[in-house]
Amino acid sequence: MNPVLVEDLHYAFGDHVAVDGVDLALAPGEVFGLLGPNGAGKTTTLRVITTLLPAPPGTVRVEGLDVVRSRRRVRRLLGYVPQQLSADGSLTGRENVALFARLFDVPRRERAEAVDSVLDAMGLAESADRTASTYSGGMVRRLELAQALVSAPRVLVLDEPTVGLDPVARSGVWDRIHEVRRANGMTVLVTTHAMEEAELHCDRVALMHRGRLRAEGTPAELTAAIGGEATLEDVFRHHTGDTLEPSGGMRDVRAARRTARRVG
Ligand SMILES: Nc1ncnc2c1ncn2[C@@H]1O[C@H](COP(=O)(O)OP(=O)(O)OP(=O)(O)O)[C@@H](O)[C@H]1O
């Protein structure tokens, strides 16, 4: 069974088509990257998968369950880290995670242990009783991962998990994601516009451009298909005639500010 299965998904905001016929079939335990520039339709696709935007019944399934017909059950199977703020700066790390444990109905008797265990897995055990407003950007992201992981989801959905972080914080976030995945076999669906990260960390990727998937495969398959010393960036240009925004542009600056402000 595919942990996430999307068949011919279309989504429009009024007249504006954001997703224009997307198919996705994730394999159990893989890290799948949805790559594309700003506005490609990645976040919209994730919001439909996570039940936050409506889809026609039969279009999207999570662990075999239709996201429309079985919305509550699907929510229990998912952990979601959105781009926007999901941690509260006035609470400690532990309180933030405990809040999610209650929201996701982690049984009362198991809560304290579940909270400790994810804080530890995210490298936050020692800072768990500090308010989150004192955390660095990388720690905030790891706290948000802990929040998403406390209910032991089968599928973890991450929207640009490392945007605005420095290289050390980025690899800290990825190392934790890989460790948890190795330990519990969950599937990870991640969006990014950072091609070099996708090449390093994703088992398979799909390149999204203007609402459609233009190419899909392992990073090695995609780069080998266009030959030479190609990078995923070259593959993207080959399939779309377009470029991704270079990293360090306005978008990263905006996102970095957003991260810096998010728990202030
Ligand atoms: N609530 C909304 N109302 C109207 N248009 C929207 C809305 N949300 C997204 N869009 C538009 O839909 C398109 C796809 O947006 P989406 O956020 O899915 O892209 P994305 O690939 O995730 O980019 P980003 O990384 O900037 O979030 C864009 O043209 C965007 O402007």
Q: What is the pLDDT of residue 84?
A: 83
Using alpha carbons, select from 62, 66, 54 the residue that is nearest to residue 25. 62
Burial 202-212 (b: 16+ CB within 10 A, else e): bebbbbbbbbb
Specify the residue with its C-alpha closest to ligand 1, atom 5: 13
How would you class 220 by CB atoms within 10 Å of its CB: exposed for 0-12, middle for 13-18, buried for 19 or more? exposed
Tell me the whole-structure pTM to 2 decimals.
Answer: 0.91
Point out the ligand 1 atom lying closest to the alpha carbon of residue 160.
25
Specify the residue with its C-alpha closest to ligand 1, atom 3: 13
How would you class 147 by CB atoms within 10 Å of its CB: exposed for 0-12, middle for 13-18, buried for 19 or more? buried
Q: What is the pLDDT of residue 194?
A: 86
Domain of residue 235 covers 4-262
What is the number of other CB atoms lying within 10 angstroms of the CB of residue 259? 21
Q: How many domains does the chain have?
A: 1
**Phi, psi torsion values for 59, nearest 5 degrees:** -90, -35
The CA 4 to ligand 1 mean position distance, Å, reads: 21
Among left, alpha and beta (phi > 0; psi -120 to 50; other), residue 250 is alpha
Q: For each of the chain's 264 residues, which pLDDT tens digit applies?
A: 999 999 999 999 999 999 999 999 999 999 999 999 888 999 999 999 999 999 888 899 999 999 999 999 999 999 999 988 789 999 999 999 999 999 888 999 999 999 999 999 999 999 999 999 999 989 999 999 999 999 999 999 999 998 888 888 899 889 989 999 999 899 999 998 888 899 999 999 999 999 999 999 999 999 988 887 888 888 888 888 777 665 444 455 455 546 555 565
**Which strands sit side by side in the sheet containing 187-192, from one edge to the other?**
78-81, 155-159, 187-192, 31-35, 204-209, 212-217
The CA 39 to ligand 1 mean position distance, Å, reads: 5
Kindly report, residue by residue over 250-263, the tens digit of the pLDDT: 455 455 546 555 56
Using alpha carbons, select from 14, 15, 30, 35 the residue that is nearest to residue 231. 35
Specify the residue with its C-alpha closest to ligand 1, atom 27: 43
The CA 44 to ligand 1 mean position distance, Å, reads: 6
Kindly report, residue by residue over 152-177, the tens digit of the pLDDT: 999 999 999 988 888 888 998 899 89
Angle, to 10 degrees, between the axis of helix 93-103 and the axis of helix 137-149? Answer: 30
The CA 43 to ligand 1 mean position distance, Å, reads: 7
What CATH code is carried by the domain that includes residue 33? 3.40.50.300
Q: Check if the beta carbon of residue 161 is closer than 8 Å to that of residue 190.
A: yes
Q: Check if the beta carbon of residue 31 is closer than 8 Å to that of residue 203.
A: yes
3-state secondary structure at position 222: helix
Q: Check if the beta carbon of residue 61 is closer than 8 Å to that of residue 67.
A: yes
Q: Check if the beta carbon of residue 263 is closer than 8 Å to that of residue 90.
A: no
Residues whose beta carbon lies within 6 Å of some atom of ligand 1? 13, 16, 18, 36, 38-44
Write down how long the chain is.
264
Burial 126-138 (b: 16+ CB within 10 A, else e): ebbeebbeebbbb
Rounded to 5 degrees, what angle do the CA atoms 216, 29, 259 make? 80
Q: Check if the beta carbon of residue 141 is closer than 8 Å to that of residue 162.
A: yes
